[in-house]
Structure 1
Amino acid sequence: MSHKFKIGQRVRQARRFGSVDHGGAASSIFEVVRLMPEERSGEPSYRIKSTAGERAVLEGELTLAS
């Protein structure tokens, strides 16, 4: 499986069950900074960043920001 998103693209992270968004809409926009290896399940992963910090996420948690 290849990565759907590219470095530099702006994406949104889908809310996970039970999560709380404290930062509003702007904090849900991230930039892809690194393509990571696939997980054991075969799903690609990414490093994304925003003004709030950087994190690792699975491709299924992301959508392209418009």
Structure 2
Amino acid sequence: MSHKFKIGQRVRQARRPSSVDSGSAASSIFEIVRLMPEERSGEPAYRVKSAAGERAVLEGELTLAS
């Protein structure tokens, strides 16, 4: 499986059903800074950054920001 997003693209992290916050993190815009190896499940992973810092996320958690 190849990566859907490219370095430099702006993405939004989708809300997780188990999330207890008010949605502020879910509406944050991130920039893809690195393509990471696929997880054991075969799902591509990314390193993303925002004003709040950097984190690693799975492709299924991201949508393209408009």
Give the TM-score, by structure 2 length.
0.88
Judge conservation of contact 2:12–2:65 (CA < 8 Å) in 1: yes
How far off is 1:18 after superposition?
3.3
* Other-structure match for 1:34: 34
Query: 1:1-66, aligned counterparts within 5 Å?
Result: 1-19=1-19, 20=21, 21-22=23-24, 25=27, 28-66=28-66
SS of the aligned residue for 1:4 comes to coil
If each structure's helix is expressed as a fraction of its own residues, which one has the higher value?
1
Deviations 1:10-42 (A, max 9, x none): 0000011232134684xx100000000000000
Provide structure 1 residue ranges, at least 5 long, that are not aligned to the other structure. Answer: none
Aligned AA (2:37)? P
**Cα distance change, pair 24–56 in 1 and its aligned pair in 2 (3 A):** closer
Number of residues paired by the alignment? 64
Letter in 1 for 2:59: E
| Alpha-carbon contact 2:29-2:50 (below 8 Å) kept | yes
Q: Percent identity?
A: 81
- Partner secondary structure for residue 60 of structure 1: helix
Structure 2 stretches lacking a partner, 5+ long: none
